Structure 1
Amino acid sequence: MTGLTSASPENHPWWRLSDSATEFPQHNSVDSLPLLVVESPLCRSVIAPQGAQLLTHTSYGRTTSNNDQLLWLSPTALFVRGKPLRGGVPLCLPWFGPHNEPGKPQHGFARNEDWQLLGAQADSDGNVVLSWGFGQYASQPHPEFPWRFSARLTMTLGTRIELGLEIQNCDTSPMPLSWALHSYHPVSDLAAVRVRGLAGCDFLDNTRQLERRRQQGDVQFNGELDRIYLSVPDEQIIATEPALAIRGSNCPSAIVWNPGYDKAAALADVGAEHGQEFICLERGNAGTNALSLDAGASHRASVSIGVTG
């Protein structure tokens, strides 16, 4: 199965191989993409080797009758090989947003290509730990990115989601790098939801040609919102039901996005009826927090997602 190596998980009762047509029969699986399903006493998660993308995560951390969905997957998500999947946690890499050269893909190419499963294990706390590698461009650069690099993404899946990312410049010159763990989160009422922990931070407003502004109070949603917050505190709270805490280390940007009604209606893999169901609160290095990674150097960062309060 593409994206899975000798570390494939068929020998453990907490994980199994599947595909998108089986796990998401109500979705449009143009291609039946391979999936890895985790079912442990602490959670249920579904991961696509394409992009090493965590698609869904149900936490059993509070009570068995009150399971918590930490991620949102669009009901109209399209499962197509080599195309972005709408929802979960896509990884934007090796650049975030549009490239300054026309024709290059939005948010890079790592989310659209297969990663290799390097390891799968259960730790002493009952979490499932998966390690994914993206090493196909360590010796030969991608046609659209003239630097050799590799990446490794570690997922610790339990009552919380813990994501650890390492990106290495395998080339002989400094490498430009921007990235984000583009996480989609469900909200109970978009009009009432608040994002806390960004007051006083500067942001680049993508609805106003990246005009730089400063956040006053909590972030609220009234129409399209698309912002890159710069040099933010480690933790933000999505005040919904249940409230979610997103905590990042060594990832100073927070990207907050909801398309608003009109843009959601124009997106085939969202739709007007689903645009009110989620917000994105992403952590990474974007905008003026983008990096220049020295030859041979590595950048390490982590993001934690869980219910709070």
Structure 2
Amino acid sequence: MVDRPNKPSAISPTTMSPQPTVTIADDNSTVTAKLPSGEEVTVLLHGATVLSWKAAGGQELLWLSEGAVLDGSKPVRGGIPLVFPVFGPPPKNHATSSLPQHGFARSSRWEYLGKSSTEAQSTTSDNSIKLDFGLYSTALSAEARKAWPYDFGLVYSVTLSKEGLQTMVTVQNEGKEAFEFQVLLHTYFRVKDISKTTVTGLAGLPFIDKVANATQGNPAPTVTFSGEVDRVYTNIPQSTTSILDADGKPYIDVVRDNLSDTVVWNPWTEKAKGMGDFQPKDGFKHMVCVEAGAVEGWTKLEAGETWEGGMLAKSHL
């Protein structure tokens, strides 16, 4: 036998680390993704509403009302409802004026388009998984189609990673005429104690105070909570708004991407009592909405154009 001086080395089998998993509920109502490190997200196809986002240790980071309706008969109270194409009650004499409050995206059944994920080798742990959901004008109810008769396509991408949860909205004008829209990620974050929670990153910025009849509020270094808060901060120069939890330490950073506005909301005692699906009634003590959006004025999209915006919520747990 000839002895070759440069023998090929033995081939070692490639070792792959565990990969992200996706589970679709038996009744096809939800899609759940989980990373090997333990992070998890669940999305309800009704409204493409994110119902749950858990940190690696299993801690729930979103607040979902115990009275939330999940059967598709009404929008979900809690999680991350998607507001489109109008924020709040529609204005009179506008193309959205016949739509319900907050539009139709959160009330429509979305299509699950599939997943894509990184394939981490044994030397890395950069696993992430992206779930895509679609809503198209042809799938709207006859009532919604009549109220807003534009041809459009929406793709909502929910990406779970060790860094956090990214939610991105892509709007495509598939018609022959321009339309205007607003969009908001109406995110309910779970907190330990709202009376000891602060929101930073909005220092010195003017805001529309909806508790005070939509008048201009007085800027403050931080947002604190001792009663109902409903504020719309617009044209924010910095990209990050942070939540400090009861211990005063950073809890969650909300990083906006092509979204210039932020809504901060907590209903407090009386408003919570008046919402039938807000349960328990003292649940306001453990939630705060910090909502990234484009809600000041309107975004105009010409025929054939595409717009994209969203946020990354980064947990410090």
Q: TM-score, normalised by structure 1?
A: 0.84
1:127 matched to which residue of 2? 128
User: In structure 2, the residue corresponding to 1:180 is in which secondary structure?
Assistant: strand
Cα 1:185–1:13, aligned 2, differ >3 Å: closer, same or farther?
closer
Tell me which amino acid in the other structure corresponds to 1:121. Answer: S
1:237 matched to which residue of 2? 242
Match of 2:51 among 55, 61, 78: 55
2:22 matched to which residue of 1? 15
Q: CA deviation at 1:103?
A: 6.0
Mark the structure with the bigger radius of gyration.
2
1:8 matched to which residue of 2? none
- The answer on whether the counterparts of 1:181 and 1:283 sit within 8 Å (CA) in structure 2 is yes
Q: CA deviation at 1:293?
A: 1.9
**Structure-to-structure mapping, 1:61-100, within 5 angstroms:** 64=57, 67-100=58-91
Cα 1:13–1:198, aligned 2, differ >3 Å: closer, same or farther?
closer
Match of 2:113 among 94, 118, 123: 118
Structure 2 residue 272 is matched with structure 1 residue 264: yes
Q: How far apart, CA to CA, are the structure 2 residues paired with 1:217 and 1:267?
A: 31
List structure 1 segments (4+ residues) > 6 angstroms apart after TM superposition: 138-141
Structure 2 residue 99 is matched with structure 1 residue 104: yes
- The answer on whether the counterparts of 1:190 and 1:221 sit within 8 Å (CA) in structure 2 is yes
Q: How far apart, CA to CA, are the structure 2 residues paired with 1:33 and 1:190?
A: 35
Q: How high is the sequence identity, in percent, across the aligned residues?
A: 28
1:274 matched to which residue of 2? 283
Q: CA deviation at 1:279?
A: 0.6
Tell me which amino acid in the other structure corresponds to 1:237. Answer: S
User: In structure 1, the residue corresponding to 2:270 is in which secondary structure?
Assistant: helix
Q: What CA deviation, in whole Å up to 9, does each residue of 1:242-280 have, x standing for no partner?
A: 610000110001011111111112212214221211010
Structure 2 residue 315 is matched with structure 1 residue 307: yes
**Structure-to-structure mapping, 1:104-183, within 5 angstroms:** 104-124=99-119, 125-137=126-138, 142-159=145-162, 160-183=164-187
Aligned residue pairs, count: 280
- The answer on whether the counterparts of 1:182 and 1:280 sit within 8 Å (CA) in structure 2 is yes
Unaligned runs of 5+ in 1: 1-11, 20-31
- The answer on whether the counterparts of 1:123 and 1:129 sit within 8 Å (CA) in structure 2 is no
Q: How far apart, CA to CA, are the structure 1 residues paired with 2:116 and 2:300?
A: 34
- The answer on whether the counterparts of 1:82 and 1:113 sit within 8 Å (CA) in structure 2 is no
User: In structure 1, the residue corresponding to 2:146 is in which secondary structure?
Assistant: coil
RMSD of equivalent CA atoms: 2.3
- The answer on whether the counterparts of 2:20 and 2:129 sit within 8 Å (CA) in structure 1 is no
Q: How far apart, CA to CA, are the structure 1 residues paired with 2:82 and 2:289?
A: 13
Cα 1:188–1:163, aligned 2, differ >3 Å: closer, same or farther?
same
- The answer on whether the counterparts of 2:263 and 2:289 sit within 8 Å (CA) in structure 1 is yes
Cα 1:263–1:103, aligned 2, differ >3 Å: closer, same or farther?
farther
Q: How far apart, CA to CA, are the structure 1 residues paired with 2:178 and 2:75?
A: 28
